[in-house]
Amino acid sequence: MKFYKKLDLDHDLWSDIHRQMTQIIIEDYGIPGEIDVDRVYGCINNDLFLERVPAFKIFMSENRIEKLWIACVALTKNVRAHVDFSRGCSSYQEFQNKSLDRRLAINWPIYNVAQSETAYYETLENDAAVIRDNLLINFEENKLRKIDSFTLTEPTMLRADLIHGMKVFNDKTRIIFSTRFQQDPIHLF
Ligand SMILES: [Fe+2]
């Protein structure tokens, strides 16, 4: 099974996207190197995001992606193993019914990504899941087995509906943007 795919992006376009996204981090959260937090997720107004990251609009049109569904920024040290719902717009019920419509996210590395690892897991025991809220299901890691992993050092499309987690191997905060789309851009996966 495929869990992720590194995108083959034009170098200049990615460097524009990276610069514009970094500007948001600087303006909204302070200088990346000075951020020391455990966990911040910020959902960004889509229209504002597209205005502030015009290179991202170019990425969308070049890749025939019509509508951004959500853009958010994650400032984290570690992320416990979990399955995402579509961030609030779907429910655990939909997940169980397998009617979750959005499975793919594109994650964009911004800061302190090289010393991190995103891992995928399978469950070893049936009771590994801990339902926490309507946003995601958490899992107990001692009831999981790691089956794949990668380091988010370039823009990567990944399955958000399969069990995944992230670890940072230094004491800094890792910063990424995550985007989802009205329709999963399955043609890029
Ligand atoms: Fe996730």
In this predicted model, which residue has the larger pLDDT, 101 or 80?
80
Q: 178 C-alpha vs ligand 1 centroid, how far in Å?
A: 9
Task: List, in order, residues 6 or more apart from 126 with CB less than 8 Å away.
Answer: none
**Cα 78 to ligand 1 centroid, rounded to whole Å:** 11
Q: Between the CA of residue 166 and those of 10, 60, 91, 148, what are the distances in Å?
A: 26, 26, 23, 12
* pLDDT grade for 42, boundaries at 50, 70 and 90: confident
Domain limits, the chain: 4-27+35-181
Reported as a single tens digit per residue, the pLDDT across 101-158 is 678 999 999 999 999 999 999 999 888 887 665 566 788 889 999 999 999 999 999 9
Looking at the predicted structure, is the pLDDT value of residue 92 above 80? no
CA of 31 to the centre of ligand 1 (A): 24
The alpha carbon of 51 and the centre of ligand 1 are apart by a number of angstroms equal to 25
The answer to whether residues 156 and 113 touch, using CB atoms and an 8 Å cutoff, is no
pLDDT mean over 8-33? 91
- Cα of 13 from ligand 1 centre, angstroms: 25
Look at residue 185 in the predicted model and tell me its pLDDT: 94
Share of the chain above pLDDT 70, in %: 86
Q: What are the DSSP E strand ranges found in 20-168?
A: 39-44, 68-76, 79-84, 104-111, 116-123, 129-131, 136-139, 144-150, 156-159, 164-168
Please tell me the distance between residue 86's alpha carbon and the centre of ligand 1 in angstroms: 10
Please give the pLDDT value at position 4.
98
Q: For residue 165, report the distance from its CA to the centre of ligand 1, in Å.
A: 7
**pLDDT exceeds cutoff 90 at 70:** no
Contacts of 47 (CB under 8 A, 6+ apart): none
Residue type, 168: V
CATH architecture of the domain with residue range 4-27+35-181: Sandwich (2.60)
Rounded mean pLDDT, 33-43: 72
Ligand 1 centroid to Cα of residue 54, in Å, is 25
- Ranking 68-77, 88-97, 141-150 by mean pLDDT, the lowest is 88-97
User: Ligand 1 centroid vs 37 CA: distance in angstroms?
Assistant: 18
Contacts 24+ apart (CB under 8 A), 113-116: 113/151, 113/152, 113/153, 113/174, 113/176, 114/151, 114/153, 115/168, 115/169, 115/170, 115/172, 116/151, 116/152, 116/166, 116/167, 116/168, 116/169, 116/174
pLDDT at 38 over 90: no
Signed CA dihedral, 11, 159, 113, 66: sign only: positive
Q: Report the pLDDT averaged over residues 152-175.
A: 94
- Average confidence (pLDDT) over 10-25: 97
Helices assigned H by DSSP within the chain: 11-29, 46-52, 54-62, 92-96
How far is the centre of ligand 1, averaged over its atoms, from the C-alpha of 62 (Å)? 26
Distance from Cα 137 to the centre of ligand 1, integer Å:
10
Note if the pTM is more than 0.85: yes
- Note the pLDDT of residue 152: 98
Give the single-character DSSP code of 114: T
